[in-house]
Structures are given as structure tokens and as C-alpha cells.
């Protein structure tokens, strides 16, 4: 019998948020809300939807393998070179491309405990190891991460803001981390995953893009999945040195983004008004959700994202009970946070349904 590679012997599939239709069927429910995958509850900009519809009659052709126009649009928007961009099937594919391109089995990556699980999964795929650094108050301890980095550590992954904790690191903390790494003269490259940047409002938060523009050897990942409401289309990208981009380009599948996703990304890139308005709508819904959680006596971690990490006692049990009532959230045991659930901020009516159900779950205990 043919055997899979040793590195993936104990691999379990990624636990994604459960689909609405599946939960309706299993629990015989009419109403189900999904607040599980940090998606945007709103559709993409009108302009994007129009482009998608228009392209139905062109799907017999392959997309542009180089995604040149998407790169050009992103490059102009972010004021970086076109050769500094790699487009992927979501930021998720970029994580995997980095691992496939750079990680030998003797290499390591550095991540925080409770950090987005896909970094470690990508390292494991290559048989590489992951060094885990404790968080402080649910925040990445960037100083400690830089201090533990050694010769074998190729990447240091930092989601900023972070998933699933929702916390952020300040510009000063990022600067300090870069300083420590530079002093150590390591080749370790920090990867800043900015999937949730559009929801961050803290005064002392800043994108790492400014450090990239100043010539620092760092990688930044972004996605169209969250703020542009395009999770189903699968487009994300990395900003990196030309050398790294060239390497990733050599190994990525030739048609990793589709005709439709490329056109949608190009149309979305300059929709700054949509992005701003949508973020404001979601953030004001978050404020109300926070108020109602507090009123009901639930603690949660302060968040700079479109989701909240809420302390509920037995997270797995509460997740299951909510599911039975038609609310899909995420249990956090795989993130070593068994007392918590992670809830995405949805539309106000969805958030209200979640709170009502959460209160019922507690009363039933």
C-alpha cells in the first residue's frame, strides 16, 4: 500500500467553521447564523459583484497566470513595486508557499502560543519544527520571540492584530523586535500577517508596511477575505523582497487565483470608502455586542478585530449548545483556550441572536 509522507502521518484536517446548511440539516433548524470564521457579514462592493456577474461568460479561458493586473493595482495602492507582490489563493496559500519554499526538516519557525494555527501546520507539512513562545495578556511577546530566535528559525510569524486572541502589538514593540533580530544578525524573517488590519483603531498600532518601505527584510500578508467580504473568492497576497517573491512565484500553482477572483480583487482594491464604511458598521456592532456581553456578565479579551474571544467556562460544551440553537461559533480547545469561544461580529440581528442564545445556555447549566 502506498504510504503518505512521515511528516503528515498525524495530520488532522484544519477545523473550519461549520457551514450553515449542514447545521440546518443536522439539527433540523430553520434559522442558523454563522459567526465562526471572522467573515464579513456584508457582501462585497457593488462594483465587485458587477464584475463577477459580467465574467460568467468568460470562464472557458484560463486566468492570467501572473495575476499581473492584480499585482499592479495592489502595488499602486500600497506604494511598493509590482515585483514585491505574490498573489495567492487566500493569505492561507501564501503561508503554505513560504513553508514549501523555505523550510527544510531541520528548520524551525517561531510563533506564539494561541497564535493562528496555520503557521504551525505549514511547518509540520514540511517536517519542520515550531518554537512556541508564551503570550502576555493574550498578546504576542515580540521581544521574547525575537530573543529566542536562533540560526535554525527561518520565519517568525506574527498576526497583528492576532487571531484568535484579537489583540495587537504596538508599532514600538514591532520596532524593538526588528532591532533585536538585527542585532543578532540572524536570517530569520518576521512575517506580519495583517488579515485584520482594517479593524484596528488603536493609536499606537501601525502596519508593518512602513518598515518594509524603509527597506527592512520582512514579509507582510494581507487578504481580501475579511474587509472586502470576499472570503469565498480566495484572494490574498504577500509583500516581500523581490528575491522572496521570485522564489514563491517559482513554486506556486500556475493558476492559483481564478479569472473571477482576480477581477474581483482588482475592483476591490480601491474601494476605500466601502472598506471604511463596512469597518465602521462592524465596529459599532462590536461595541454593542461588547456592552451586551458585559451586561450579561461575560468577560472577553479586548479586541482590535472583527471578533471576540469570550470566556464561557467550558468552551466546547457552550459551542455545542449554541450549535444546537443555531449559532455557529468556534470552540477554542485546539488553541489551548478551553474556557473560551471565539465569536465573529455579525450583523446586529445576528449578534443579538447569539447573545440571547448564550444567556439561555448559561441558564440551562
Ligand X SMILES: Cc1ncc(COP(=O)(O)O)c(C=O)c1O
- Applying CB under 6 A, the residues found at the interface with ligand X are 38, 90-92, 116, 159, 163, 193, 195, 223, 225, 231, 236
Q: Among residues 97, 119, 347, which one has the least CA distance to residue 236? A: 97
Shortest Å, Cβ 209 to ligand X: 16
CB of 238 to ligand X, least distance (A): 11
Gap between the Cα atoms of 81 and 87, Å rounded:
13
**Considering the complex, what minimum distance in angstroms separates the CB of residue 360 from ligand X?**
28
* Spatial distance between the Cα atoms of 307 and 311, rounded to a whole number of angstroms: 13
Contacts of 350 (CB under 8 A, 6+ apart): 33, 35, 41
> Cis before residue 164, ω within 30 degrees of 0?
yes
Residue at shortest CB range from ligand X:
90
Peptide bond into 284 cis (omega under 30): no
Shortest approach of ligand X to residue 163 CB, angstroms?
4
For residues 146 and 155, what is the distance between their CA atoms, to the nearest angstrom? 11
Which CB atom, from 218 or from 357, has the smaller least distance to ligand X? 218
Does residue 227 contact residue 44 with C-beta atoms inside 8 Å? no
Residue with Cβ nearer ligand X (260 or 357): 260
Q: Which is nearer to ligand X, 2 or 16 (CB)?
A: 16
Contact yes or no for 282/306 (Cβ under 8 A): yes
- In whole angstroms, the minimum distance from the beta carbon of 187 to ligand X comes to 23
Amino acid at each position: 500500500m502506498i504510504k503518505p509522507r512521515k511528516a503528515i502521518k498525524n495530520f488532522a484536517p484544519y477545523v473550519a467553521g461549520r457551514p450553515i446548511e449542514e447545521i440546518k440539516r443536522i439539527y433540523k433548524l430553520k434559522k442558523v447564523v454563522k459567526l465562526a470564521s471572522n467573515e464579513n457579514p456584508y457582501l462585497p462592493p457593488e462594483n465587485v459583484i458587477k464584475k463577477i456577474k459580467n465574467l460568467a461568460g468568460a470562464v472557458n479561458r484560463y486566468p492570467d497566470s501572473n495575476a499581473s493586473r492584480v499585482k499592479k493595482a495592489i502595488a499602486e495602492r500600497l506604494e511598493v513595486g509590482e515585483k514585491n507582490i505574490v498573489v495567492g489563493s487566500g493569505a492561507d496559500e501564501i503561508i503554505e508557499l513560504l513553508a514549501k519554499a523555505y523550510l527544510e526538516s531541520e528548520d524551525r519557525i517561531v510563533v506564539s502560543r494561541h497564535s493562528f494555527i496555520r503557521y504551525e501546520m505549514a511547518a509540520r507539512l514540511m517536517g519542520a519544527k515550531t518554537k512556541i513562545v508564551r503570550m502576555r495578556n493574550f498578546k504576542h511577546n515580540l521581544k521574547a520571540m525575537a530573543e529566542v530566535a536562533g540560526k535554525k528559525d527561518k520565519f517568525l510569524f506574527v498576526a497583528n492584530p492576532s487571531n484568535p486572541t484579537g489583540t495587537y502589538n504596538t508599532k514600538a514593540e514591532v520596532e524593538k523586535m526588528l532591532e533585536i533580530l538585527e542585532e543578532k544578525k540572524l536570517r530569520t524573517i518576521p512575517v506580519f500577517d495583517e488579515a485584520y488590519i482594517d479593524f484596528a483603531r488603536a493609536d499606537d498600532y501601525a502596519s508593518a508596511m512602513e518598515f518594509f518601505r524603509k527597506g527592512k527584510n520582512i514579509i507582510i500578508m494581507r487578504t481580501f477575505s475579511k474587509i472586502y467580504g470576499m472570503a469565498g473568492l480566495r484572494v490574498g497576497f504577500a509583500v516581500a523582497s523581490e528575491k522572496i517573491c521570485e522564489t514563491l512565484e517559482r513554486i506556486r500553482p500556475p493558476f492559483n487565483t481564478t479569472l473571477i477572483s482576480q477581477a474581483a480583487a482588482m475592483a476591490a482594491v480601491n474601494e476605500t470608502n466601502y472598506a471604511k464604511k463596512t469597518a465602521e458598521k462592524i465596529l459599532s456592532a462590536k461595541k454593542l455586542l461588547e456592552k451586551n456581553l458585559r451586561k450579561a456578565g461575560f468577560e472577553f479579551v479586548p479586541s482590535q478585530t472583527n471578533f471576540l474571544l469570550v470566556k464561557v467556562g467550558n468552551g466546547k460544551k457552550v459551542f455545542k449548545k449554541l450549535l444546537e440553537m443555531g449559532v455557529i461559533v468556534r470552540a477554542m480547545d485546539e488553541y489551548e483556550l478551553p474556557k473560551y469561544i471565539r465569536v465573529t461580529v455579525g450583523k446586529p440581528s445576528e449578534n443579538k441572536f447569539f447573545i440571547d442564545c448564550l444567556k439561555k445556555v448559561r441558564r440551562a447549566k
